[in-house]
Structure 1
Amino acid sequence: MYNNPESTSAQQPSLTLREAFAQTNYILAGNGDRNIHVLQQAFADINGDLASDMYGRGPVIEDFQKQMADVLGKESAVFFPTGTMAQQIALRIWCDRQNNRNVAYHPLCHLEIHEEDGLKELHHIHSILLADQDRLITLADVQQMDQEVACLLLELPQREIGGQLPDYSELQAISAYCREQGITIHLDGARLFEILPYYQKTAAEVCELFDSVYISFYKGIGGIAGAILAGPSDFTAESKVWKRRHGGDLISLYPYILSSKYYYEQRVGKMEQYYKEAVQLAHEINQCTAVHTLPEVPVSNMFHIYFELPKEQIEPILIEMCQATNVGLAPYLTDKKDGTQCSTELSIGDRYGQIPLEHIQQALHWLDQRLKEVSANQ
């Protein structure tokens, strides 16, 4: 199975980790390359005479919105080109209705760290950060807020801390408390379908705990782009006005809608398989020297891998691993703890099940041996 590392490096110039990762035949994460084939496959059996949607109207968009509203157990749903747009609009509506510009969410919420302060600059909404960065929001955090808020946003799973999830009873308690206090509760459910096998709940059962919900179609589902925002009918009607104001009411969104529908139907039934494979892979990784996963036992198809050595030491090892074993574990590393550790994220999709388990185990054994050598010299 293994290549000769010396002959491999002699045949080609030095590679970056991302380049070496891309050249492997066995990539552990994801559903496949994000290339034009993703669109071609989704459209392969589509009737070319099918009428497109126009400015949010037409069977293509309306039928899919109705389908997703039913799946999520909400009165109505609206298709958006991006989740960033959908969530900012959701929070704007809830804030306007309560005449309160405060929303609460986790310090590592997507709106706080990945959107260039769009919520604050475009909507003048103030964020109240709950919990520490490295743990989940609890009922106690919500109860101890010292400012009134219009809305609480919960992300399930909490991506930036390894895709962790609260116990379902804790989630129910937070929802009940918010409703008692008149606090709207919104679900960042970008990866909602990925958590259902762990909770053993339907999407509608989870969404019942929330006033509004956003889901993504390009993460675990693997579509091109697109999102759904769902909730009460008057809420989604107002969201359509804001979608137009944001420039999201494209003349046609059918390439995103049709690919979302296609890959949703292809993959939503595979989420339990992905989840079980993530648990299996995390167990194998946790046998390696100076490596651990967060969570130790995944609660969805995603988890983080932590190396107990600096990025500058781990990166060459992972490049060598790609070349020696033909298995791609990670395309990038992020420094952690003042550069004494590094980490990466891994999400299981279609690719993992296509790789012989023995190849994965042999590659991780190779990694374990290299890490033992490096750790012994520390």
Structure 2
Amino acid sequence: MSENKTLFQAFKETSFKTNGHGNRNAGVLKEAFEHVPSELESDMYGSGKVIEDFQTKMADMLGKEASVFFPSGTMAQQIALRIWCDEKGTKKVAYHPLSHLEIHEEDGLKELHGIEAVLLADKDRIITLEDVQEMEDEAAAILLELPQREIGGQLPDFGTLQSISDHCRDKGIFLHLDGARLLEVLPYYQKTAAEICALFDSVYISVYKGIGGIAGAVLAGDEAFIKKSKVWKRRHGGDLISLYPYIISADHYLDQRAGKMEKYYRNAREFAQFYNNCTRVVTRPEVPVSNMFHVHYDAAADSLEEILIEVYEKTGVGLSGYLRETSDSSCYYEVSIGDLYDTIPKEDLEEAFQLLNDRLKQM
């Protein structure tokens, strides 16, 4: 093993990486624009054929009356919840304790909109119907994230989703979908995007996570909701003079990858078995319900880093470029399967896991 090499450096130098679609570099944009005519006009401040056609396409796919493209999902979701709070006259919304809004946005919902969060469920499990029924605070809206990323991409069954949706409509509570990875859960549910979105009043979907575009998000709902969201988008500074590089890349990779989600899902299930066959390793969930899962090690991060670097250097297979400590003697990382997985020769993958297992047994 090379001295003083970090895990990230060793990972970058591997020939085969198991996660995602590939490097996020200028090639992503160049490929998307390869067949775009030079005379294509850009959008301007949220208007123009290139953005309007894409918004119509996304609304149709999601089964909603209209949609609007946002430069970020953070902006889109805060605006969605602000609209529902204004509609109800209640400055409270409910979501999971590990929601993106709660742990990654520097209290943006509270500081920008004066909205308080009601946290549902324990942080290590998904929200259930009982959590919603037993909610003591009056909330204008409930946000459900599918899949729940921070706990390994876990999902409720479709019956639970239907029951929560029915309850919210009975009680006059708006239901918003954090569907950043919506397409990735369709193989598990065996439903279309429109069938899932029918349970929700508003929907957000990322165009760069599983889809692999450069950046951006889409917010969808009925015409009145989207009209209000466009006003808030302008207030947030989201109407850049042009967004077409994001839109063209999103459209290109949506067409390229939307039909591959079933393959990514099957590959994730196969990949998780490699991990679960190793000592000191367990995936969460044990059997993935989308293309993502978490890998938990019963090993200290510094000791595991040495082992992983050795695996990478001897086999050329990179599993992760980082480790997150959960205790002095345990750590984990996230796996998200995309196009790269099928590029790895199976014998190389098997060799990597054989070496990983051997080294873990020696700890």
CA deviation vs aligned residue, 1:127-164 (integer Å, no higher than 9, x gap): 00010110000000000011110000000000000000
Report the CA distance between 1:66 and its aligned residue: 0.3
1:302-331 alpha-carbon deviations (Å, 9 max, x no partner): 000000112121111111111111110011
Partner of 1:48: 38
- 2:323 aligned with 1:346, yes or no? no
Matched residue, 1:220: 210
Query: Is residue 365 of structure 1 aligned with residue 354 of structure 2?
Result: yes
- Partner of 1:296, secondary structure, is coil
Deviations 1:50-91 (A, max 9, x none): 011011111100000000000000000000000000000000
5 Å-filtered alignment, 1:168-207, equals 168-207=158-197
Under a length normalisation based on structure 1, what TM-score does the superposition of the two structures give? Answer: 0.95
Residue of structure 2 equivalent to 1:84: 74
**Following the alignment from structure 1 to structure 2, what is the Cα–Cα distance between the partners of residues 265 and 301?**
18
The DSSP-based 3-state class of the residue aligned with 2:295 is: strand
| Counterpart residue number, 2:48 | 58
2:262 alignment counterpart? 272
Number of residues paired by the alignment? 363
Residue identity opposite 2:339 in structure 1: D
**1:133 maps onto 2:123 in alignment:** yes
SS at match of 1:128: strand
Aligned-partner Cα distance in 2 for 1:157–1:90 = 19
Deviation per residue, 1:320-366 (Å, 9 max, x gap): 11111111001101111x32210000100000011111211110010
> How far off is 1:15 after superposition?
1.0
> How far apart, CA to CA, are the structure 1 residues paired with 2:306 and 2:106?
32
Partner in structure 1 of residue 281 of structure 2: 291
Q: Secondary structure of 1:18's partner?
A: helix
Aligned residue identity for 1:206:
I
Question: What secondary structure sits across from 2:213 in the alignment?
Answer: coil
Measure, in 1, the Cα distance between the counterparts of 2:195 and 2:65.
Answer: 14
Tell me the amino acid that sits aligned with residue 185 of structure 1.
L
Matches within 5 A, 1:1-378: 5=1, 9=2, 13-336=3-326, 338-374=327-363
Q: Deviations over 1:230-278 (max 9, x none)?
A: 0010100100000000000001100000000000001000000000000
2:357 & 2:265 partners in 1: Cα distance? 24
3-state SS, counterpart of residue 21 of structure 2:
coil
Flag as ranges the 4+ runs of structure 1 deviating above 2 A. Answer: none
Q: Which amino acid aligns with 1:140?
A: E
The separation in 1 between residues aligned to 2:49 and 2:215, in whole angstroms, is 19
CA distance in 1, matches of 2:349, 2:207: 28
CA distance in 1, matches of 2:114, 2:303: 43
The CA distance in 2 between the partners of 1:97 and 1:141, in whole Å, is: 23
Separation in structure 1 between the aligned mates of residue 123 and residue 27 of structure 2, nearest angstrom: 38
Partners of 1:168 and 1:125 in 2: how far apart?
29
Q: Which runs of 5+ in 1 are unaligned?
A: none
What letter matches 2:161 in structure 1?
A: L
CA distance in 2, matches of 1:321, 1:121: 46
Q: Which amino acid aligns with 1:25?
A: S
Amino acid at match of 2:353: L
Paired AA for residue 182 in structure 2 = L
- Find the residue that maps to 1:351 and give its secondary structure: helix
